[in-house]
Homo-oligomer: A and B are copies of this chain.
């Protein structure tokens, strides 16, 4: 979680020097990663060029390769990081003692936060087949693990009688689809904030499997305090 840089090529190749320099280098790497994530989100992975990423990170194209072996490594770290966060959120929800419906709601909120949030949001993990073959395996596994976590939540809800019997695998995919597709239409300057969208979607998506849904209440547009 804290250090994901020693997984692969570090700057240079000689033994590291002072602690202070190592810190600085690491921070720089993180900055670059953030810049790459922004460009990936803004332009899409395919259209995101190394020159564009370099400019966003305020360094020359060539210098990028001093910190990362190439575009694939950049992409890999971006995807890996986001999936880790989502998996963590899913695990936290699972381990809690609140009703399963609320656990699912928490996962939905976190999911949208990590994809749409202006600062922390990233979407690179949604374009897995842009990643080089050799790096794909691990990412795919994490993505599948996440999907399975959502499915397990649904299954648990059914077992407890909180949810109606259903095809958990299909419902999980439907939920994830509805969530992931938000990156296509969400605009930061739009009418609804990320958390408002999250509440609305959570209400609708959970209601679809709730054993005893409230007769009336579904996402009625913004019941109080509009933006942010």
A residues whose Cβ falls under 8 Å from a Cβ of B: 44, 46-47, 129, 164-167, 170-171, 173-182, 184-185, 192, 197, 200-201, 204-205, 207-209, 211-213, 215-221
User: A142 to nearest B CB, angstroms?
Assistant: 15
Residue of B nearest to A175 (CB): B178
Known: A170-B197, A185-B173. A208 touches B207 (CB 8 A): yes
Partner of A46, one of B47, B182, B197, B209: B47
Q: Which B residues are in CB contact (< 8 Å) with A219?
A: 166-167, 170-171
* Besides A46-B46, A164-B218, A167-B200, 13 other A-B contacts (C-beta < 8 A): A164-B216, A165-B218, A171-B204, A171-B219, A173-B178, A173-B185, A174-B201, A177-B177, A177-B180, A204-B209, A205-B208, A207-B207, A208-B208
CB distance from A132 to the nearest CB of B (A): 13
Residues of B within 8 A of A197 (CB): 170
Find the B residue at minimum CB distance from A128: B184
Bound complex: CA of A171 vs CA of B148, how far in Å? 24
Which B residue's beta carbon lies closest to that of A201? B174
A192 / chain B contacts, CB cutoff of 8 Å: 170
Tell me whether B204 and A211 are in contact (CB under 8 A). Answer: no
Chain B residues with CB under 8 A of A184: 177
CB distance from A121 to the nearest CB of B (A): 16
* Residues of chain B contacted by A46 (CB below 8 angstroms): 44, 46-47
B174 touches A215 (CB 8 A): no
Expressed in whole angstroms, the minimum distance between the Cβ of A78 and any Cβ of chain B is: 18
